[in-house]
Structure 1
């Protein structure tokens, strides 16, 4: 067994492939199909919650039913589903995501305001 991580597929090429596959296999098309694909994200997030509850044994009737590897897998499903939904919404998904990620990164890593500067109340 090798300790090296196998090379990952190119993210956006894979998202395009998955989106095209879904486009050819979905029973509902148009706006309704797009909305259902976006709603699929809620289902995936629910599966993350189920896995966390199962990994921590928080349901006394069921006990420990999942592992933290299951949680990781479900989180990956959320990420893939979100990117496929974004690609469904716009052919420029790669650019939209890159711009948004840059804004979030800039906002999140910005230096905090000095403590002596009054902050506006909300």
Structure 2
């Protein structure tokens, strides 16, 4: 699969990753679900670590990461979130599309005097 194929088939990739995780998870059921959602916190922490490393904020470590590392970690957050959503519902594609449409409408709607 090429990078372009993965982008084109985003939800097929998410479904494939979800199926692989379902088959190989050491903890199943409700605990497995909770751990999959908690994985997001771990991934967000890795974004923070990469940002801190990219700007050299930790004097002990110096510049330990670059902005490519940050981009990569942000992608991991997005993938983890989509797989977690797929874990909660087989209709993840539709749930996400509906939610994105609502956020887009609210955020990109022209400002009205009442909302300013």
TM range (shorter): over 0.9
Number of residue pairs matched by the alignment:
113
Please name the residue that 1:82 is paired with: 81
Following superposition, the deviation at residue 7 of structure 1 comes to 1.5
Question: If you compute each CA radius of gyration, which structure gives the higher value, 1 or 2?
Answer: 1
In 2, distance between residues paired with 1:93 and 1:34?
Answer: 15
Compared with structure 1, are the counterparts of its residues 92 and 58 closer, same or farther at alpha carbon in structure 2 (3 Å cutoff)? Answer: same
What do the CA deviations read for 1:70-112 (whole angstroms, capped 9, x no partner)? 0000000000000000000111100000000000000000111
Using the size of structure 2 for normalisation, the TM-score is: 0.93
In 2, distance between residues paired with 1:7 and 1:106?
Answer: 28
Compared with structure 1, are the counterparts of its residues 101 and 6 closer, same or farther at alpha carbon in structure 2 (3 Å cutoff)? Answer: same
Root-mean-square deviation (CA, aligned residues, Å) is 1.5
Please name the residue that 1:7 is paired with: 4
Moved over 3 A (4+): none
Following superposition, the deviation at residue 6 of structure 1 comes to 4.8
Gaps of 5+ in 1: none
In 1, distance between residues paired with 2:27 and 2:80?
Answer: 17
What do the CA deviations read for 1:7-26 (whole angstroms, capped 9, x no partner)? 24110000000000000110
Please name the residue that 1:25 is paired with: 24
**Structure with greater helix share of residues:** 2
- Is 1:45 paired with 2:48? no
